[in-house]
Each structure stands twice: as C-alpha cells, then as structure tokens.
Amino acid sequence: MSPTIFRERGFRFYFFSREESRLHVHVRCASGEAKFWLEPAVLLAQNLGLSDRQLRTARRLIEEHSDEIRRAWVRHFPG
C-alpha cells in the first residue's frame, strides 16, 4: 500500500507502508521518482530519473507541505 499525501504540479507525494521508520516521502512524476528524507532536514535520499529542475521543484513542494506530510506520517504510522 502506498497512500498518496498530495498531488501538485505533476508530482505525486506518497509513502510506502512497509518501509524504514525514518521520516521520508516518495515523489513520482512521468519521468521518474525520488525519495527525500525529512529529518534532520529535507535531503535527497534517492533519485531515479528526475532532472535537477524537477528535484528542486519537488524539494520546494516538500518544504511547503512539510506539516501536511508529517501529519500524514503520524496518521499512517501510529506509535
């Protein structure tokens, strides 16, 4: 299961249900996907096909929606 947190500017932001416990978010668009850590800061963990421009846009959107992502994380991974 991979619940969508939000969609914006052609990107889908989501979690995988059975993955590591460190706070992170996955991002997908037509050309690829990436994974970003949210703690201690928003940092790229993995990139599969996104351009530098797409990565910058995704990172900015993660920063803008960080509270929403954190709330969704707590709801999805209680405890």
Which pLDDT belongs to residue 1?
A: 65
* Beta-carbon contacts of residue 6 (< 8 Å; ≥ 6 apart): 13, 65, 68
68: pLDDT strictly greater than 80: yes
Joined together, the tokens standing for residue 69 give 């992502």
Provide the pLDDT for residue 17.
75
- Rounded mean pLDDT, 48-66: 98
**Domain positions in the chain:** 4-76
What would the pLDDT profile of 21-55 be if each residue is shown by its tens digit? 889 999 999 999 999 999 999 999 999 999 999 99
